[in-house]
Each structure stands twice: as C-alpha cells, then as structure tokens.
C-alpha cells in the first residue's frame, strides 16, 4: 500500500475508533433531593478502555439528620453487556443494600439479601438494585438503547429477576438562563414499584431522574441543571397523570348512573346492627335509597345487581398517607379506600393529581390535602418552612388558596410558630394536624392550637397517672389522633419475623416493593419484645378511644392498600369492637374532616362510597381484606382488575 493511502486508512481507522469509543473518562455530579429538598450528592466516574467500562459511584445524603450512603460499581463490556456489579450500604433509612452479581455467558450468580442464587438469563438482563445510584440507571438506559430497545428487560437482583419496561416519552428543551439543553425523557417501570422518569442528554449522560425512596419522592438532577428541578417535577408529573388516565381508560367502572344493589348484608357504619337482605339504590353518585329489601320500594326500570352473600360497608379512609405516585390511586380503590388524606407531598405533583381525580379524568380515591410546614434548616423536611409569623401567614394562605383542607406541622416548628400557624389556619377555616414538634409535649402542642396529632406521641403506660392526665386533656380539647400503629408494627417488628406473619398482603405486592419491605424491621430484638412494644401502644390507643378521643385510621403508607386493613385489625387487637374499628376508618374520619354530612356512612343522600366484601368484617375483622367491588361516587370498580393494573396479584 502506498504510503499516502496507508496514512489515510490509518487515520480513518483512528477516526472510526474515536467515533465508536465513548470518551475515555466520564465524571458526573448529581444533586440528590428528597421531596424536592437538596440533601446530598451522587458522584460517579466511568473509565473506558479496550475491554469495556468500569463505573464507580458514591451516593450520599443526609435526611433529617440521618446519613444514607451507598457505594456501587459496575463493570461491563464495550457493548455494555454486564460483567460484575456490586452495591453496598443503604439506599434509604431502613433499606440496607448488600448485593453482588457476576455475569458469565447467559448466567448470573446473584448474591443479595444474604442468599446466593444461580440464574439462567433468558432475556436481556442488567444489574440494578433499586433506584440508587442514578448512574447505574443511566447505564441501564444506555444498554437498552444499544441492545435494540427491547420491549421488556430483566434486572437482577429480583425475585429472582425483576421485569423492567422502558419507554421513550419525548424530548424536552430545558431553558437555564440563556442556555438551552435538549434532553430525552424516558419512563422506567419496574426498577421501583411504578414508573420513574429519567432524562439523558444527547451524549447519553444522566441529566435528571424522578423516583421514590422508601415511598416518598426523590429527585436526582445533574449539578448544572439544578435550577430546572421544578420543571423536571412538572414534566414528570404530566407523564404520570397521563399514565393514570391510561389505566383509567383500561379499567372502566362496571356500572355508573342509577342502579340498585340487592341481597347483601348491610353494615351502614352508623353503629346500628347489620341489615340482612338489604337494598341500596344509587343515583348519580349518591345514595338514593337504603334499607331492607322487603320494605324498600325499588324505582321502576332501575337495573338491579344481586349480590346475595356479600357484605356492604362504607368506603374506607386512610387518614395518613403520602400519595407520591399515581399507582396509589388504583391500589386504594382496590383496597376499598375511597378517601385518603395526604399528609405531605410535592405541591407540583399532588395538586394536579387531586384535580385529575376530582374531574374523573383519572380514577382514584378522593384526596384531601394537608400542607406540610417545617421549621427550616439542614434537618428540615420538604421545602415549605415557617420561622416567622409572616412566613406562617404566607405559607398557610398559599395552601388555602390551592384547596388544602389542613396544615400539617412538622418536627422543627417552634412553639411560637405552632401558635402562629394554627391561628392563621383557623382564621381561614382550616384545621391543623401533624407531629408534636421536637422539644414539645403533646399537651403543649394541643394547648398551642393543634386540632389533631399524627402518630402516637404518648410515652409511658396507659394506666399511669401521667398518661391518664394526657388522655383527659386530649379529650377536653377534642383532639383527634391518627396513631399509625400498622406503621409502627412494620418498622418495629423483630427483623427475624417474616412480614407476611402479620401483613399477608406482602405476598401480593410487586417484587421491588417486596424487597423494600421484607427487609424492614428492627434488628437485635426478639418477637416477644417487639410485640410487647406494640401492645403498649395499643393499650394507649384503647385508653384514648375509651375516653372519647376520636381515633382515625392512618397508615403513613406502609404496604400499599393492605396497611389500611392492618390498621383496622390492630384496633380490634387493641380491644375495639369490629364496628368501632370500622368506624375509625369511616365515619370518625369523615367527622374529623368535617365531611360527615356527605361521607362516612351509608345513609340516604350521602355520596355513594361503598365497599362490597365477600364476607362480613363484624364476624371477623380480617374479612375487611375481602374486597370484591369498590364504589366511589357511584362508580363501581372491580378490585381484582385494579390490583392487576399496577402489578399486584389480586
Ligand atoms: Zn407521614
């Protein structure tokens, strides 16, 4: 070959080599946010060589004073076929990660959760252990693009593998001052339960991601794009609401309009004895008629559904939740929950979601919103603070203007600010609930105006004079308590006790959620210690109830849907009658939110929020789990179809 030509060929080879090879090193700094508050960073490095690439990532944040750190590494061939993955540390306060995956010719050795599995890989497979770190999700997307964008992929560790579906959702132009950045937006379904949003730039580098950590919203934004955080949240929200509208279209109500349900045992929730062989006439979302079939005249020409053998109870309430993803909407209806009080969320997410559900464009429970306010500083939660009376008036007014029913006070609010917030809220016709702020007692919190208290913030034994005094004080003040006992049980159970022993619903939830909760629990205690701690709390709940303090059922999320059932069961374990436990999740909750003239019982004129169960919960409270159909505002939904729509097993 003549010298000249040889030189040209050599330079072409060099050129094509450069074009094929990614840069020899990549570095990224991703700012981490919890419920939009900046709380830490992920730094990653990727080195490329002839054999492929090696990623190493340091993921590190501090949430309300608690440090969460994770280190991860990933080696892959030049085409991103994985070779070795490891992750160690924590990805959330109660989520320990210690996994290692070695790939070799269509098989993988997966070590996770203290067990080792040999897995034959049947489809494109990539290692990802939960949402963190974001750089591994970036490589997952690059792998997907390089391998023909398969409709479905597997990820490990899983049970034994997870199914992941990636979808391109469009291109976004993000404006940052005078700079414009064009990004590709993807939804990733299956790394966590439900869809995440991930943005990559034109070089394939991570730009932003929206996911959930331990059930609450979590965002990663590349440092140079930090100012666009709100834009990312708004665009991600738009996709998610569109996803919920798709689920809504695919899961239409079995019945709407005017119809009669006959033959069931009716537990109307007023406390009256059940009515056997009852009839409920629903007309345009309301209860038009209810009573014994023998004595109730059915309007002529009304379609009738015979549900003999079933039991009808009022729609359930979850009085303590954080609906941080749209998948909660079908889950709640499937579990019989027709009203949920959200106790702190991202404003840019929850307001459009509430409105989409209220307009019936999207199915879901009625959402009542409590706007969270904390005291500011590095350990604060969320991004809405009040440290002066002016700030208190401003943020309370802002929530009021957007239709929030309540304010939720968080732990760093100072005593004078409790007074400022509650007086401002009361002026606007809102009520105030929340945590007993740090350094205050529950008695002081209610003396400063709090109408309700979240969690069971009472120490000591139920029969001690101090506790008896507090109970009497709360009774005198008319304070409402949501004691979140199922949440305490979920995190406080002895780590050796399987969650399924008390929460059988865990066997029906999707694998990413299962991995999250099957590791929850308290290490270093035995089952009887855990149980006696729980029982101490239940005795206080019973003492409050006996004194006349309204107890409302709330979960703080827990196992989606099923924790509502567990909360109700725990009240029966505390000594409530099944009727009283049911009322805590229906009429007592409705009364606490001043909506009892519309909701909470099955009475003529009220909204038609009903649950049709396969068995009577007054015979055995566990029957509250046997939801067959849920009726919200007269629209009848099939529980099994709703569970399936978000990958639960009915
Ligand atoms: Zn909460």
Residues 343 and 238: their CA atoms lie apart, in Å, by 22
Distance 372 CA to ligand 1 centre (A): 10
Element (H, E) at 354: helix 347-358
Cα distance between the two ends of the chain: 71
Q: Within 10 A of 16 (CB to CB), how many other CB atoms are there?
A: 10
**30 touches 223 (CB < 8 A):** yes
396-410 pLDDT, tens digit each: 999 999 999 999 999
Checking if the pLDDT of 1 tops 50, the result is: no
Average pLDDT over residues 451-464: 97
Residues 275 and 644: their CA atoms lie apart, in Å, by 32
Average pLDDT over residues 310-328: 98
Average pLDDT over residues 292-301: 93
Checking if the pLDDT of 336 tops 90, the result is: yes
- For residue 7, what pLDDT is reported? 47
| Radius of gyration of the chain from its Cα atoms, rounded to whole angstroms | 27
Distance 321 CA to ligand 1 centre (A): 6
546-571 pLDDT, tens digit each: 999 999 999 999 999 999 999 999 99
Residues 302 and 299: their CA atoms lie apart, in Å, by 6
Distance 343 CA to ligand 1 centre (A): 6
Distance 484 CA to ligand 1 centre (A): 9
Distance 593 CA to ligand 1 centre (A): 17
Residue 17 has, within 13 A of its CA and on its CB side, a CA count of: 10
Residues whose CB is less than 8 angstroms from the CB of residue 223 and which lie 6 or more positions away in sequence, other chains included? 29, 30, 31, 41
Residues 406 and 327: their CA atoms lie apart, in Å, by 24
Distance 216 CA to ligand 1 centre (A): 9
Residues whose CB is less than 8 angstroms from the CB of residue 45 and which lie 6 or more positions away in sequence, other chains included? 25, 26, 27, 55, 56, 57
- For residue 23, what pLDDT is reported? 57
Q: How confident is the model at residue 649 (pLDDT cuts 50, 70, 90)?
A: very high
377-436 pLDDT, tens digit each: 999 999 999 999 999 999 999 999 999 999 999 999 999 999 999 999 999 999 999 999
- For residue 159, what pLDDT is reported? 82
Average pLDDT over residues 330-341: 98
Checking if the pLDDT of 16 tops 80, the result is: no
- For residue 235, what pLDDT is reported? 98
Average pLDDT over residues 597-624: 98
Q: Within 10 A of 497 (CB to CB), how many other CB atoms are there?
A: 16
- For residue 436, what pLDDT is reported? 98
Distance 556 CA to ligand 1 centre (A): 4
Give which of 140, 232, 238 is closest to 190, Cα–Cα. Answer: 140
Cα-flanking dihedrals φ and ψ of residue 72, to 5°? -140, 150
Helix (H), strand (E) counts: the chain? 16, 30
Give which of 601, 628, 602 is closest to 614, Cα–Cα. Answer: 628
User: What percent of the chain stands above pLDDT 70?
Assistant: 96
17-47 pLDDT, tens digit each: 444 454 589 999 999 999 999 999 999 999 9
Distance 108 CA to ligand 1 centre (A): 39
25 is written with which tokens?
A: 């090193």
Distance 563 CA to ligand 1 centre (A): 13
Distance 344 CA to ligand 1 centre (A): 7
87-130 pLDDT, tens digit each: 999 999 888 899 999 999 899 999 998 899 999 999 999 999 99
541 is written with which tokens?
A: 């709940």
| DSSP strand pairing (316-321 vs 337-342) | parallel
Element (H, E) at 182: strand 179-189
Distance 555 CA to ligand 1 centre (A): 8
**243 touches 237 (CB < 8 A):** no
- For residue 214, what pLDDT is reported? 84
Higher pLDDT, 579 or 18: 579
Checking if the pLDDT of 288 tops 60, the result is: yes
Checking if the pLDDT of 8 tops 60, the result is: no
Higher pLDDT, 249 or 21: 249
Residues 180 and 102: their CA atoms lie apart, in Å, by 41
Higher pLDDT, 3 or 388: 388
- For residue 12, what pLDDT is reported? 44
Please give the sequence-ordered ranges of beta strands (E in DSSP) within 35-161, or none if there are none.
37-49, 52-63, 66-77, 82-92, 95-104, 107-112, 115-120, 125-127, 153-156
Average pLDDT over residues 573-582: 98
- For residue 9, what pLDDT is reported? 45
Q: How confident is the model at residue 516 (pLDDT cuts 50, 70, 90)?
A: confident
Residues whose CB is less than 8 angstroms from the CB of residue 20 and which lie 6 or more positions away in sequence, other chains included? none
Integer angstrom CA distances of residue 61 from 30, 260, 379, 513: 11, 55, 11, 22
Q: What is the chain's mean pLDDT, rounded?
A: 95
Distance 644 CA to ligand 1 centre (A): 26
Burial (CB < 10 A; 0-12, 13-18, 19+), residue 82, is: buried
Residues 346 and 344: their CA atoms lie apart, in Å, by 7
Distance 454 CA to ligand 1 centre (A): 8
Residues whose CB is less than 8 angstroms from the CB of residue 420 and which lie 6 or more positions away in sequence, other chains included? 386, 389, 392, 393
Element (H, E) at 51: none
Q: How confident is the model at residue 317 (pLDDT cuts 50, 70, 90)?
A: very high
Distance 456 CA to ligand 1 centre (A): 12
Average pLDDT over residues 152-158: 94
Residues 103 and 100: their CA atoms lie apart, in Å, by 10
- For residue 169, what pLDDT is reported? 98
Distance 482 CA to ligand 1 centre (A): 10
Q: How confident is the model at residue 14 (pLDDT cuts 50, 70, 90)?
A: very low
180-203 pLDDT, tens digit each: 999 999 999 999 999 999 999 999
Average pLDDT over residues 138-143: 98
* β-pair partners for 311: 265, 613
210 is written with which tokens?
A: 């929206």
SS3 content of the chain, % helix, strand, coil (to 5): 30, 35, 35
Checking if the pLDDT of 538 tops 90, the result is: yes
């Amino acid at each position: 070959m003549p010298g000249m030509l040889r030189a040209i060929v050599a330079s072409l080879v060099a050129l094509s080599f450069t074009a094929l090879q990614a840069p020899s090193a990549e570095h990224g700094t991703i700012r981490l946010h919890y419920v939009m508050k900046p709380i830490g960073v992920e730094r990653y490095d990727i080195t490329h060589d002839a054999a492929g690439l090696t990623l190493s990532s340091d993921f590190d944040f501090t949430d309300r004073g608690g440090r969460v750190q994770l280190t991860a590494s990933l080696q892959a061939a030049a085409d991103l076929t994985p070779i070795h993955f490891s992750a160690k540390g924590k990805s959330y306060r109660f989520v320990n990660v210690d996994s290692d995956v070695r790939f070799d010719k269509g098989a993988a050795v997966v070590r996770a959760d203290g067990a080792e599995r040999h897995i034959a890989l049947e489809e494109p497979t990539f290692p990802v252990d939960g949402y963190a770190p974001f750089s591994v999700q970036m490589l997952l997307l690059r792998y997907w693009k390089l391998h023909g964008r398969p409709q479905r992929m597997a990820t490990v560790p899983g049970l034994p593998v997870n199914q992941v579906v990636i979808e391109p959702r469009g291109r976004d132009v993000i404006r940052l001052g005078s700079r414009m950045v064009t990004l590709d937006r993807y939804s990733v379904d299956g790394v966590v339960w439900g869809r995440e949003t991930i943005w990559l730039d034109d070089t394939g580098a991570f730009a932003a991601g929206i996911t959930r950590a331990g059930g609450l919203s979590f965002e990663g934004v590349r440092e140079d794009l930090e100012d666009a955080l709100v834009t990312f949240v708004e665009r991600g929200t738009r996709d998610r609401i569109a996803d919920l509208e798709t689920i809504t279209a695919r899961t239409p109500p079995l019945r709407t309009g005017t119809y009669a349900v006959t033959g069931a045992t009716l537990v109307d929730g007023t406390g009256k004895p059940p009515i056997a062989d009852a009839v409920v006439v629903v007309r345009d979302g309301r209860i038009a008629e209810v009573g014994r079939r023998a004595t109730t005249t059915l309007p002529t020409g009304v379609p009738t559904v015979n549900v003999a053998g079933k039991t009808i109870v009022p729609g359930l309430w979850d009085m303590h939740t954080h609906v941080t993803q749209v998948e909660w909407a079908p889950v709640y209806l499937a579990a019989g929950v027709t009203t949920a009080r959200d106790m702190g969320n991202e404003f840019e997410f929850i307001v459009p979601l509430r409105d989409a559900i209220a307009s019936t464009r999207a199915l879901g429970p009625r959402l009542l919103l409590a706007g969270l306010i904390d005291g500011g500083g590095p350990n604060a939660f969320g991004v809405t603070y009040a440290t002066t009376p002016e700030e208190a008036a401003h943020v309370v007014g802002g929530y009021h203007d957007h239709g929030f029913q309540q304010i939720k006070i968080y732990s760093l609010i100072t005593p004078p600010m409790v007074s400022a917030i509650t007086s401002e809220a009361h002026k606007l016709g809102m009520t105030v609930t929340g945590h007993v702020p740090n350094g205050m007692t529950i008695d002081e919190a209610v003396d400063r105006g709090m109408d309700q208290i979240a969690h069971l913030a009472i120490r000591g034994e139920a029969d001690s004079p101090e506790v008896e005094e507090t109970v009497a004080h709360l009774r005198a003040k008319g304070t409402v308590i949501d004691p979140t006992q199922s949440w305490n049980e979920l995190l406080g159970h002895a780590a050796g006790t399987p969650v399924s022993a008390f929460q059988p619903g865990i066997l029906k939830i999707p694998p990413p959620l299962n991995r999250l909760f099957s590791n929850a629990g308290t290490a270093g205690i035995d089952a009887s210690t855990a149980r006696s701690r729980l029982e101490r709390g239940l005795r206080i709940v019973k003492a409050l109830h006996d004194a006349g303090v309204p107890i409302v059922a709330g979960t703080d999320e827990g196992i989606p849907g099923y924790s509502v059932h567990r909360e109700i069961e725990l009240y029966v374990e505390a000594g409530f009658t099944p009727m009283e436990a049911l009322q805590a999740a229906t009429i007592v909750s409705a009364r606490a939110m001043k909506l009892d003239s519309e909701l909470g019982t099955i009475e003529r004129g009220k909204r038609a929020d009903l649950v049709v169960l396969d068995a009577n919960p007054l015979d055995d409270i566990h029957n509250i789990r046997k939801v067959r159909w849920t009726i919200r505002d007269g629209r009848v939904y099939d529980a099994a179809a709703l569970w399936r729509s978000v990958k639960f097993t009915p």
